[in-house]
Amino acid sequence: MKRKESVEERKKWRENLADFFELPKELLCNLPRVTLIGNIQLYMENYGGIIEYSGEILRLKTREGEIIVRGSNLTIKNFFGREIFIEGEIKSLHYE
């Protein structure tokens, strides 16, 4: 009888595979990749959707939880597929 792998076992297996082949973990583990340029631009890959959006807060769904961007004059400049580009005065970036 074959036992089902738990979510944690699959996650650990992917991490080990990424380490072995020296691949970025965000590729195999579907982790978000965030690029912050100063406090005025944010680019994110591998997000799952927009939970909340206003000029002061942006909540983005990720596989492991959510990323919360707080600031002023936040504007979504582009979003397509699993990528999003935000501009404005970014005051904080929090991962929950």
CATH classification at residue 58: 2.60.40.2000
All residues at 6 or more sequence positions from 12 whose CB lies less than 8 Å from its CB, including other chains: none
- Sequential pLDDT tens for the chain (96 residues): 556 667 677 667 667 766 666 665 555 557 788 999 999 999 999 899 999 999 999 999 988 899 999 999 999 999 988 899 999 999 999 999
Do 71 and 84 lie in one domain? The reply is yes
Give the pLDDT confidence score for residue 49 in this predicted structure: 92
List the one residue out of 96, 45, 48 whose CA is nearest residue 69: 96
Give the pLDDT confidence score for residue 9 in this predicted structure: 75
Give the pLDDT confidence score for residue 81 in this predicted structure: 86
Do 53 and 68 lie in one domain? The reply is yes
Do 4 and 50 lie in one domain? The reply is no
Do 42 and 78 lie in one domain? The reply is yes
Do 24 and 40 lie in one domain? The reply is no
Do 48 and 10 lie in one domain? The reply is no
Do 43 and 83 lie in one domain? The reply is yes
| Containing structural domain, residue 58 | 32-95
